[in-house]
Amino acid sequence: MSVGPAPILALLVGGFHTALFVLLRAHAGGRLPVVFLAAVLGAWAGDATGGRLGIDPLRIGDFHLIAASVVAWAGIAFVSVLAVLGPTITPDE
């Protein structure tokens, strides 16, 4: 059994973009694992989409880096929008 480069590179790209998101926002609150998961799954899906479309000029082997980065940010944005629109938990007084 061998693991292809896509899942491993998706972890690296998703981790990088999650770290960049936290750096830009200065915090991620309690949703950091969800943001990381969305970025990793987005990077993996972006690689697959870039492979199907075949328009990505920057690749690492067979990994489509630009498409993976764009979809990773789309996943991060989706989680951020859900966090804003979702219910807030306030401590009972």
Number of domains in the chain: 1
pLDDT band at 75 (very low <50, low <70, confident <90, very high): very high
Q: Tell me the per-residue pLDDT of 7-24, one tens digit each, with 9 for 90 and over.
A: 899 999 999 999 999 999
Please give the model's pTM, rounded to 2 decimal places: 0.85
Whether residue 87 is contained in a domain is answered as no
| Domain assignment of residue 32, given as a range | 5-81
Whether residue 86 is contained in a domain is answered as no
pLDDT band at 28 (very low <50, low <70, confident <90, very high): confident
**CA–CA gap between residue 46 and residue 78 (Å, rounded):** 15
For residue 64, the surrounding DSSP H or E stretch is: strand 63-64
Kindly give the interhelix angle for 5-25 and 32-53, rounded to the nearest 10 degrees.
130
Whether residue 89 is contained in a domain is answered as no
Q: Tell me the per-residue pLDDT of 30-64, one tens digit each, with 9 for 90 and over.
A: 889 999 999 999 999 999 999 888 877 888 888 88
**CA–CA gap between residue 47 and residue 27 (Å, rounded):** 27
